[in-house]
Amino acid sequence: MQLDAKIPGGPIAEKWDRHLFELKLVNPANKRKYDIIVVGTGLAGGSASATLAELGYNVKSFCIHDSPRRAHSIAAQGGINAAKNYPNDGDSIWRLFYDTVKGGDFRAREANVYRLAQISNDIIDHCVAQGIPFARDYGGLLANRSFGGAQVSRTFYARGQTGQQLLLGAYSALSRQIADGNVQMFPRREMLDLFVINGQARGIVVRNLINGQLERHDAHAVVLCTGGYGNVFFLSTNAMASNVTAAFRAYKKGAFFANPCFTQIHPTCVPVHGTYQSKLTLMSESLRNDGRVWVPKNPADKRPSGQIPEAERDYFLEEKYPSFGNLVPRDVASRNAKEQCDMGKGVGETGLAVYLDFADAIKRDTKAVIEKKYGNLFQMYEKITGENPYERPMRIYPAVHYTMGGLWVDYNLMSTIDGLFVMGEANFSDHGANRLGASALMQGLADGYFIIPYTVGGYLAGTEFADVTTDHGAFKETENDAQSRLTRLLAINGKRTVDDFHKELGLVMWDYCGMARNNDGLEKARHLIQQLRAEFWENVTVPGTGQDFNQSLERAGRVADYLEFGELMVLDALARQESCGGHFNEAYQTKGHEARRDDENFCYAAAWEYTGKEAEPQVHKEPLIFENVELSQRSYK
Ligand SMILES: Cc1cc2nc3c(=O)[nH]c(=O)nc-3n(C[C@H](O)[C@H](O)[C@H](O)COP(=O)(O)OP(=O)(O)OC[C@H]3O[C@@H](n4cnc5c(N)ncnc54)[C@H](O)[C@@H]3O)c2cc1C
């Protein structure tokens, strides 16, 4: 199959406008004849459901949680980017576009990224109109701060709770549509399969998580906004319910999975402190605006931080990257922290941490100013570690945070299955091999508020639909498949818990497909995952029944998918014999230990096609063509 990204012609700055004009429209009276399923109510799904319903479509909205508001998006802390240039420091749409393409190590599609930068400004206006309490400066104008990979301040924020505030905005808009009867809300439902007929996505099978019943829901189009798959590593900053299931089941139905090995490891997380831990906590990147990262110069120096004099500290990011300093992008900061710890200079009991120190900022700006900016983050840190970050430096270490890979989509955000659209973190589109901070919220809301309302209309208006309802025999078959999988999981009755398998998988992924990778390790990981998967289907224990609320069963289904998907990630990492962004193969690095790309051979998005149970997936390549940004070795020095 030939991948067609459907990128409109013409100059990059005019592509989206031109496309908007060329897209077919559904007339207002006809919109109510179309049903659209939206799976997920995070920023991508919540904004899409609200907007599509506002336009007049019948929307059915699904989520795992008891309320749309509990989506993982609520955890987002630091902010959302936009090219408003309010601080007058040289920002522009073009600069945001350039920074994002470069930040992604030239592995994203130019046209999508440019559109994202263009739309970024509309998002801020829209959210302000909704009443999002963005931080403001003394004169009342919206305030900005800096995030990694940029030399301008373009990040809008609401203290350390930006995701929560933005989600409340989307949720309010969604609630209005629920009350008006335009959105039917189905909370506590987990999508287990996609129904495809005549090559078109026409519905989903979900499990009602309260009573265990399977349900079939039909529609003219399905929009997946089911978030990222970082929890494949077991320990990550993601919400516990984040999973790959919906996307992976769609992959098995024909949607290609793009760049699955592109994972983001965030440099500033509270370090792992024990083997019983099931969650890691992020300390927002915004802290690197004021916090200084350092380790003792001498690996043998085990004195408390306060006793190490200035001259004996290594501010390694400021040293190595004078232009960007502590605000280098995440992949770069993470690799450098790991390098320091590998040299034995890590701090704390495990030696797997570096300092993030606010002493200078407090001296310069006062404690009150720092508290105003980051108070809730400092409080969170103190609650977890029992240490007061106003008095001693935070200890931080990289952790899995975000997944740039996802289902392949074209410029319309449509996957390789007609009528299956994918948005937010669940798609692969805009961040290349490394996402810049504060760009995920921007992308999710661009997709939901400003792109899908048009592109889904273009699809519906230009497509003929057979009369298909939930009574269709093939739909029943899809449900039967989902049911037999659940029955099989419950019948194994083995000796190891689901979490036990998940933890072991996570360690394999972290050790061999994490921050640094090599071919031997990846081969080994593949073998270990296959073994673990075989054992899982023989020896997992899932207590309870399928006709009830059963979280072990929910988790078992998700871990079963991770056990297949993890191998796809490894396969993708093995196939990409270069380093780029978050994909760092030790064999391909510059003298300064930076990722060394191979543009001649790997300047493409790798889109994997499922070819059957025992068969190797097949890779399809979408060439990435850079006409507006020159391909170059990324430098933040
Ligand atoms: C701690 C933390 C802080 C962050 N801070 C920032 C930040 O400051 N700025 C920034 O830009 N980004 C940030 N991010 C990243 C950003 O929050 C996410 O990428 C983004 O919110 C994802 O939004 P989404 O709508 O795609 O998915 P999510 O918010 O993950 O929503 C997924 C939805 O899908 C539903 N779902 C999932 N699977 C199924 C299924 N099988 N069936 C039914 N429903 C399903 C869930 O119930 C949920 O409603 C942060 C991430 C973390 C972890």
Which residues are 226's β-sheet partners? none
Q: Which atom of ligand 1 is closest in space to residue 285's alpha carbon?
A: 8
- Name the residue of 49, 64, 289 whose CB sits within 8 Å of the most ligand 1 atoms, as the mutation to test its pocket: 64
CA of 402 to the centre of ligand 1 (A): 9
Q: What is the C-alpha to C-alpha distance for residues 362 and 14, in angstroms, rounded to an integer?
A: 46
Cα–Cα dist 116/82, whole Å: 9
62 CB within 6 A, ligand 1: yes
Distance 284 CA to ligand 1 centre (A): 15
Q: How far is the CA of 319 from the centre of ligand 1 (A)?
A: 34
Whether 77 is in the pocket of ligand 1, judged by its Cβ within 6 Å, is yes
* Ligand 1 contacts CB of residue 43 (under 6 A): yes
As a whole number of angstroms, the distance between CA 93 and CA 120 comes to: 8
Task: Answer yes or no: are the C-beta atoms of 224 and 39 closer than 8 Å.
Answer: yes
Residue 71 alpha carbon to ligand 1 centre in Å = 6
Q: Is 227 in the pocket of ligand 1 (CB under 6 A)?
A: yes
Give the number of other CB atoms < 10 A from CB of residue 517.
24
pLDDT band for position 131 (50/70/90)? very high
103 touches ligand 1 (CB under 6 Å)? no
pLDDT tens-digit profile of 89-123?
999 999 999 999 999 999 999 999 999 999 999 99
Q: Is 402 in the pocket of ligand 1 (CB under 6 A)?
A: yes
Atom 51 of ligand 1, residue of closest alpha carbon: 76
* pLDDT of 614: 84
Per-residue model confidence (pLDDT) at position 274:
82
Phi, psi of 326 (to 5 degrees): -70, -10
Confirm or reject: Cβ of 72 under 6 Å from ligand 1: yes
List pLDDT tens digits, range 16-55: 999 999 999 999 999 999 999 999 999 999 999 999 999 9
Q: Whose CA is nearest to atom 35 of ligand 1?
A: 40
Q: What is the mean pLDDT of residues 376-391?
A: 95
For the stretch 416-432, pLDDT in tens is 999 999 999 999 989 99
Q: Could you tell me which of 516, 437, 513 has the C-alpha nearest to residue 266?
A: 437
Given a cut of 80, whether residue 126 has pLDDT beyond it is yes
Residue nearest to atom 31 of ligand 1 (CA): 42
How much of the chain exceeds pLDDT 90, in percent?
95
Mean pLDDT of 333-337: 95
Q: What are the structure tokens assigned to 82, written together?
A: 């936009």
Q: What's the pLDDT score for residue 300?
A: 94
| Whole-number percent of the chain with pLDDT over 70 | 100
236 CB within 6 A, ligand 1 = no
- In three-state secondary structure terms, 257 is strand
Q: What is the average pLDDT across 279-286?
A: 91
Ligand 1 centre and the CA of 33: distance in Å? Answer: 30
pLDDT tens for 207-261 read 999 999 999 999 999 999 999 999 999 999 999 999 999 999 999 999 999 999 9
Nearest to 108 by CA among 616, 603, 632, 637: 603
Q: Is the pLDDT of residue 304 over 90?
A: yes
Average pLDDT for residues 522-543, to the nearest whole number? 98
Mean pLDDT within 481-497:
98
**Is pLDDT at 548 greater than 90 in this prediction?**
yes
Reported as a pLDDT band with limits 50, 70 and 90, residue 338 is: very high
CA of 210 to the centre of ligand 1 (A): 22
pLDDT surpasses 90 at 628:
yes
Q: What is the pLDDT of residues 350-364, one digit of tens each?
A: 999 999 999 999 999
Residue nearest to atom 21 of ligand 1 (CA): 73
The alpha carbon of 323 and the centre of ligand 1 are apart by a number of angstroms equal to 32
Q: Ligand 1 centroid vs 435 CA: distance in angstroms?
A: 14
Q: Whose CA is nearest to atom 4 of ligand 1?
A: 76
Burial class (CB in 10 A: 0-12, 13-18, 19+), 634: buried
Q: Best mutation site among 51, 60, 63 for ligand 1, i.e. most ligand atoms within 8 A of its Cβ?
A: 63
**Which residue in the block uniquely carries the two structure tokens 């890979």?**
405
Select from 423, 425, 449 the residue to mutate for testing ligand 1; criterion: most ligand atoms less than 8 Å from CB. Answer: 425
User: Which residue, judged by its Cα, is nearest atom 5 of ligand 1?
Assistant: 76
Q: What are the Cα distances from residue 453, in Å, to 55, 435, 448, 514?
A: 8, 25, 7, 36
Cα(404) to ligand 1 centroid in Å equals 12
For ligand 1, say whether the CB of 46 is within 6 Å of any of its atoms: no
Q: Is the CB of 444 under 6 A from ligand 1?
A: yes
pLDDT beyond 90 at 410: yes
- In the chain, what are the helix, strand and coil shares in percent, each to the nearest 5? 40, 15, 40
In angstroms, what is the span from residue 524 Cα to ligand 1's centroid? 31
pLDDT at position 1 over 80: no
More confident residue, 341 or 275: 341
Is the distance from the beta carbon of residue 71 to the nearest atom of ligand 1 less than 6 Å? yes
Full strand arrangement of the beta sheet holding 313-314 = 263-269, 394-403, 354-357, 292-296, 313-314
Taking all residues of the chain, what is their mean pLDDT, rounded to a whole number? 96
Hunting for tokens 């975000």 — which residue is that? 402
Q: What angle do CA 120, 167, 216 make, to 5 degrees?
A: 110
Residues tagged active-site:
330
Rounded mean pLDDT of 377-388? 95
Length of the chain: 637
Report the nearest-CA residue for atom 2 of ligand 1.
76
What pLDDT sits at residue 592?
87
Sign, Cα dihedral of 65, 68, 72, 76: negative
* C-alpha of residue 228 to centroid of ligand 1, in Å: 7
Of 305, 312, 304, 314, which is closest to residue 337 (Cα–Cα)?
A: 314
- Paired tokens of 15: 């592509």
- The atom of ligand 1 lying closest to the CA of 43 is 25
268 lines ligand 1 (CB under 6 A): no
Closest ligand 1 atom to 191 CA = 42
Decide whether any atom of ligand 1 lies within 6 Å of the 393 Cβ. Answer: no
pLDDT of residue 599: 98
482 lines ligand 1 (CB under 6 A): no
With a 6 Å cutoff on the Cβ, whether 443 touches ligand 1 is no
The CB of 406 under 6 Å from ligand 1? The reply is: no
Q: Return the ligand 1 atom nearest residue 78 CA.
A: 8
**Using an 8 Å Cβ cutoff, are 191 and 558 in contact?**
no
State the maximum Cα–Cα separation within the chain, in Å, rounded to a whole number: 75
| Burial group, residue 553, by CB count within 10 angstroms (0-12, 13-18, 19+) | buried
